Amino acid sequence: DAGITQSPRHKVTETGTPVTLRCHQTENHRYMYWYRQDPGHGLRLIHYSYGVKDTDKGEVSDGYSVSRSKTEDFLLTLESATSSQTSVYFCATWTGHNNSPLHFGNGTRLTVT
């Protein structure tokens, strides 16, 4: 959908290690988003980008950083992974037009042991 590729699809890591998740899009959408999905909490916005090198925090940004050096790539870094960051992470893109929906990748399942 909208040519969104998330990598890796699955990852297991240890507490305290840094982790980087990648989102790559081929549709030249201006906006990109990182969400996490957890039972009982639904989808929560971590960070988003409204252009190259332009990013902002979402509602659950603590412990996460992002970078967008190219239109097509949006990276999410867990600086020092904790067990509370075990989750499914979704990337989404948007054209910026109000009549256009968000497009989602298939997610990355991250387990922090």
Determine, following the binding rule CB under 8 A, whether residue 106 of this chain makes contact with other proteins.
yes
Least Å distance between CB 31 and other proteins?
A: 9
CB atoms under 10 Å from CB of 5, counted, come to 14
Residue 64 φ/ψ region, left for φ over 0, alpha for ψ in the -120 to 50 degree band, beta for the rest: beta
Contacts with other proteins: how many residues (CB under 8 A)? 23
Determine, following the binding rule CB under 8 A, whether residue 54 of this chain makes contact with other proteins.
no
User: Which residue reads 């989602």 in tokens?
Assistant: 104
Which residues in this chain contact other proteins in the complex, by CB under 8 A?
Answer: 1, 4, 33, 40-45, 48, 58, 90, 92, 98-107
